[in-house]
Chains A and B, each alone.
Chain A
Amino acid sequence: MTLTSSNKAAAAADASASAARPASRHRILARRIGEKLVGALIVLFGAATTAFLAQAALPGDRATVILNTRAGQAIQRTPEELAQINEQYGLLNPIVVQYFDYMRALLTGNLGMSYQQYRPVSAIILEQIGPTLVLTLTAIALSWLIMVVWIILTAGRGPRLSSFGAIVDTTTAGLPHYWLAILLLLVFSLSLGWFPVISGSSPAGLLLPALTLAIPLAGFMSQATRTEFEKSLEQPFVLSARMRGMGDLGVRLHHVLRHSVLPAVTLSGWALGATISGAVVVETVFSRAGIGRVLVTAVSSQDLPIVTGVVVLIAALYVVANLLVDVVYVLIDPRLKNS
């Protein structure tokens, strides 16, 4: 048929036009990655500088603070004692010199020594970061599981079920960690005895603390996802899929979900950073090791190198989380690659 052949010619022309794209697309991609990395470095530099300035601005003589922290006392120190510390930490140098020393050490990965424990900060952090990361990642995974199941079950299922779902979202999003942790502990560990009271590092002990973090997060994510999900359900491509013979559950899982999770991905990136700094409540209630407790102890005992180290670490995690979010965004919605 003549029309078809002329169609082919027209379409071939637009194929050759699009063939020129890939090379320039790579260039755009490379430039964008470059911009992201520069941005990440600026954030890290800012966090490190702020931590240093906070340290320098603390009231009191720092050498005295260091000595007292070590000894766990609060007494007046003799000049001899102070001179030694001042010498060791270079505390008498001009602030600019101290700053450069600090930055140089940071660049080589040296976060300094803990005042209290006489050990390198990096060793302390490395030791404690494991349980926290496991807790955080488990919590995020659990919150996704809860959110996806809840949304699939309740979103876009008539006014009554949807608003019930939305009310549950809002309620859970507002639950305080401390209260939730105690509640879970009372019910599942003390009454039912299903989980250990002191979680330690066993997998069974991980579930309750992770749930404590996951439930409010799932509520937040559901709130963000629900609106998008219900909007996507009304889209023509959903009807197309149904007309192809796909069932309601299939459409929700294979098509609609993907269109509605971008806000939840953003929240997860934020949660990756936030749960690490906010894990302290959970770690305390469940007697878990972790970076949260290290941070709180260090702040209350003015063990500044540790505080600085943790602050820089959390900033670094935020940066990594944001980069991950950007990558996941493009994986979910490939159209963003070109915008």
Chain B
Amino acid sequence: MTTLVTEIRTDAVGVAPTGDPRLSVHNLHVGFTRGGAFHEVVKDVSFDLHAGQCIAIVGESGSGKSVTARSIVGLTGRNATVESATISLDGEDLTTVGEKRWREIRGRRIGFILQDALVSLDPLRPVGKEIEEALKLHGWGDRSSRKRKVIELLDSVGVPHPELRARQRPDELSGGLRQRALIASALALDPEIIIADEPTTALDVTVQAQVLSLLDDTKSRGVSIILISHDLSVVAHLADHILVMKGGVVVESGPAQQVLTRPEHEYTKSLIGAVPSEHTRGRRLGPELDIVATAHPTRFAEEFADYTGPVLEARNLVKRFRSPDGSVSTAVNDVSFELQPGTTLGIVGESGSGKSTTARIALALTGADEGSVTLLGREWSSIRESQRRPLRKRISVVYQDPLSSFDPRWNTERILLDAVTDEEPSTLAEKKARVRELLAQVGLTDAVLPRFPLQLSGGQRQRVAIARALAPSPSVIVLDEAVSALDVSIQAQILDLLVELQKQIGLSYLFISHDLGVISHISDTVLVMKDGAVVERGTADDVFNRPQHPYTQQLVGSLPTLDQEIP
């Protein structure tokens, strides 16, 4: 086994490490026993963390990065076996300490931030209580001084009206505020080390930028940070040193600048290449695809053969919702767009901007209060569902989480057979052949046919979802956050697949995402939505290189990119 013992060197970006490291991890091995068998998930990981330094551990899900982080605080789980020559914190050997000592260390010496505060803070309690709990557990002050400290802490992480916020539950706070509250609870006792496990995953890009800058502030106060992410672009401007993990092994380790600009390992190169951005538009993020896709001949295809106008057109869509207390909110406000054949229209916006409601109206799953949608030049939104049915095959959809849109008791073959049934009367054999053809188009083999959704990996599931969307040979596919739940490397494969399919079959995409990088990579034209309205529209080049609206400028400015780091 090759060991990459980390030598922290002075580098251009980071702080010069002086003296002994705060945290030393050497030859860490972690394994789990499941059903009698032992699986090693972390193999021989070593690093030193110095004061005021940030080490990033980067890798896709299952690479062992989270398990590594958890074993540093002794919380790997029930069936885990941790073997390490050394885990030492300021000279104290942590491999032998008991539970009581661990509890003194957790929270006070090492703070931990998990992703998505909606579930990482107790959803039934006000966030102030959660922060106070950290103080109380370590016997900090009395009741009233703790209350004051909570307010101070919330204020210090940039939460406005801290007195009010402290009394609110995570579900009553916006994503950014509750993530800050979670960070405040980890910072409560001024720990020397913060471990942040995917702290910005699932956050909107502007919120992500805020959280990262907050961590940066913390770092500049001398706190050491271990930052864990699947996305190199997220860690790029914070990390001094980067470990790249794959299959439990550190495949590359070095100063951030070096890893990002002169990666040595193929895997690191592929991770860097996988980050979508404005600069990657028109080129592949991963290796060349080996698929051949052809448009399936249907009678509809002939029927629309002469049509050359926009495949999907929305005019002045308005959608209002009435909340239980009687107030009316406008989710979609005067939205218009045209989707030209063979192109991709990206709709980007943060949560609550109305982009998903727009998608539902485009799919005629939700009626618009005003305005209309035409599909292939025909009335679409204003007609009755029974009239709509023959046109339904011209538009399909792929969602963020295919798991919830698949019947868990159907295997892949049945899921796809179900999607190809309504075509011309055909035999089962013909349908099965069509299912295999669809699988080949999305780069899967017949081996997945007997598998159930839960037995597929995230990337495979999304490919099956795309195959299902392709089944009726649509003209338009609506992709609603279709790659948002995927690791960067898997996301790159799916994006490449979508682009290739578009090239070969001439599909049109309505691509909806909160992720600016993805939108800028894949879109020909872009709509930027905020509070239900379109604030900016134009070609991808214009919107991302010459944003006009202040909101777009803010979005583009918040986007973490590798390009900032790579000269």
Contacts and interface: CB of A to CB of B under 8 A. Distances in A.
A335 B124 contact: yes
Interface stretch (A6-14, A58-66, A297-305): A6-14
A122 B231 CA distance: 73
Given A15-B160, A245-B134, A239 B182 contact: no
Interface residues of B, number: 52
B114 interface: yes
B401 interface: no
Given A1-B217, A240-B120, A242-B75, A11 B177 contact: yes
Given A1-B217, A334-B124, A335-B124, A244 B176 contact: no
B133 A244 contact: yes
Contacts of B182: 240
Interface string A230-269: 0000011101111111110010001100110000000000
A335 B123 contact: yes
Given A1-B213, A3-B213, A7-B176, A243 B107 contact: yes
B503 interface: no
Contacts, number: 115
A28 interface: yes
B160 A242 contact: no
Q: Is the interface of A mostly helix, strand, loop or mixed?
A: helix
B383 interface: no
A247 B324 CA distance: 41
A11 B174 contact: yes
Contacts of A10: 176, 206
A270 B443 CA distance: 56
Contact of A244 (B107, B119, B210, B217): B107
B209 interface: yes
B324 A241 contact: no
A15 B164 contact: yes
B327 A241 contact: no
Interface in B277-318: none
Contacts of B92: none
B138 interface: yes
A48 B324 CA distance: 35
A158 B161 CA distance: 44
B185 interface: yes
Interface in B147-167: 158-161, 164
A237 B105 CA distance: 19
B169 interface: yes
Nearest to B214: A4
Contact of B108 (A4, A158, A245, A247): A245
A25 interface: yes
A106 interface: no
A27 interface: yes
A244 B137 contact: yes
B122 interface: yes
A3 B160 CA distance: 14
Interface in B419-459: none
B106 to A, nearest CB: 4
21 contacts: A1-B217, A3-B210, A11-B161, A11-B177, A15-B161, A20-B327, A25-B325, A28-B325, A237-B119, A237-B121, A237-B122, A240-B114, A240-B121, A242-B75, A243-B186, A244-B134, A245-B105, A254-B133, A258-B124, A335-B124, A335-B169
Given A237-B122, A239-B114, A243-B106, 12 more contacts: A1-B217, A10-B206, A11-B161, A14-B174, A20-B327, A24-B327, A158-B78, A240-B185, A241-B133, A242-B75, A244-B185, A246-B133
